[in-house]
């Protein structure tokens, strides 16, 4: 098992200040960090080298929006989504990112007023297959993320993600599990963890209020029981959000500060994850 921290708690872009934070995360005991990859014009090779010097591995996260929506009825918009995710994968390869996760299957925060149509599903699968071909060629894995019904409508349950990636049918394309979204959408946490099987590439550990894992209302016993029993042994990454990034606070509807300090959250969250897994070793 490897333990990571999503840098979106601090910023939507990797800066010199964030690299200093990364050094502190290494001192706390993290194996790696999850890089926000939204600005595609940064020098990701240099970022990778700096993280290598700190001894930190990395995963990455990105999203798609209305103008580059892979399930848009407009073929040009779908093509833009594919192209931008391919470019993001190139950035990942330059930075030494192992897996790119996130809801890049469809536009974040865009709703039609109904569930996904057959056409939207097919467009999503077709676009992701093209993305997966590129991911395989640059040596990066895909971890497709289901989000709750208030954030997207293509993939809400983890069984949806499992069906989606199996229809994409490419070895580079897998899915991820997220405790926050599962807490809203799933009837059975165990079934949700197991939905991906060998296609489960990544897990986000996120509290129900997006603060310090272990200090909220998530059913952590069932989550960690299921994770341990599944045999999953890749990345457990804390995804916590605060007020540091105004655009992200707006997107995640976070108006209250739910913790005292970002690095304290990181330290306590890491201790919590490791202690829960050690109980089940």
Going residue by residue through the chain (281 aa), what tens digit of pLDDT does each one get? 999 999 999 999 999 999 999 999 999 999 999 999 999 999 999 999 999 999 999 999 999 999 999 999 999 999 999 999 999 999 999 999 999 999 999 999 999 999 999 999 999 999 999 999 999 999 999 999 999 999 999 999 999 999 999 999 999 999 999 999 999 999 999 999 999 999 999 999 999 999 999 999 999 999 999 999 999 999 999 999 987 777 777 777 888 888 889 999 999 999 999 999 999 99
Q: If 0-12 CB within 10 Å is exposed, 13-18 middle and 19+ buried, where does residue 74 land?
A: exposed
Model confidence, pTM: 0.96
pLDDT for the residue 191: 98
Give residue for tokens 């079934």. 191
Cα separation of 3 and 237, whole Å? 6
pLDDT for the residue 245: 72
- Sign of the Cα torsion 38, 48, 131, 169 reads negative
Cα separation of 149 and 69, whole Å? 17
Give residue for tokens 């550990």. 205
Radius of gyration of the CA atoms of the chain, in A: 17
**Nearest-CA neighbor of 265 among 246, 235, 281, 243?**
243
Q: Are 55 and 26 in contact (CB under 8 A)?
A: yes
Q: Beta strand 173-178 with 141-144: parallel, antiparallel or unpaired? A: parallel
pLDDT for the residue 188: 98
Cα–Cα separations (whole angstroms), residue 64 to 20, 77, 184, 195, 242: 28, 11, 22, 24, 21
pLDDT for the residue 61: 98
pLDDT for the residue 243: 78
**Nearest-CA neighbor of 135 among 62, 66, 203, 75?**
62
pLDDT for the residue 258: 83
Cα separation of 116 and 147, whole Å? 14
């Amino acid at each position: 098992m490897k333990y990571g921290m999503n840098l979106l708690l601090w910023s939507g872009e990797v800066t010199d200040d964030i690299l200093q934070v990364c050094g502190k995360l290494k001192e706390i005991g993290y194996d790696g960090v999850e890089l926000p990859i939204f600005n595609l014009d940064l020098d990701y090779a240099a970022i990778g080298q700096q993280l290598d010097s700190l001894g930190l591995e990395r995963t990455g996260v990105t999203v798609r929006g209305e103008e580059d929506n892979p399930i848009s009825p407009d073929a040009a918009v779908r093509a833009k989504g594919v192209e931008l995710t391919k470019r993001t994968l190139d950035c990942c390869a330059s930075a030494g990112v192992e897996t790119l996760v996130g809801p890049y299957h469809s536009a974040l925060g865009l709703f039609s007023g109904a569930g996904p149509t057959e056409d939207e599903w097919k467009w999503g699968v077709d676009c992701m297959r093209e993305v997966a071909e590129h991911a395989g060629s640059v040596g990066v894995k895909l971890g497709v993320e289901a989000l709750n019904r208030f954030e997207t409508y293509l993939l809400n349950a983890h069984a949806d993600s499992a069906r989606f990636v199996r229809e994409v049918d490419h070895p580079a394309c897998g899915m991820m599990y997220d405790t926050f979204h599962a807490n809203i959408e799933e009837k059975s946490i165990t079934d949700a963890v197991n939905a991906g099987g060998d296609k489960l590439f990544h897990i986000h550990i996120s509290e129900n209020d997006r603060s310090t894992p272990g200090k909220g209302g998530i059913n952590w016993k069932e989550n960690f029981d299921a994770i341990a029993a599944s045999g999953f042994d890749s990345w457990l990454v804390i995804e916590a959000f605060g007020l540091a990034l105004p655009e992200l606070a707006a997107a995640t509807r976070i108006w209250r500060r739910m913790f005292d300090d970002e690095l304290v959250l990181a330290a306590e969250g890491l201790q919590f994850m490791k202690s829960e897994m050690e109980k089940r070793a």
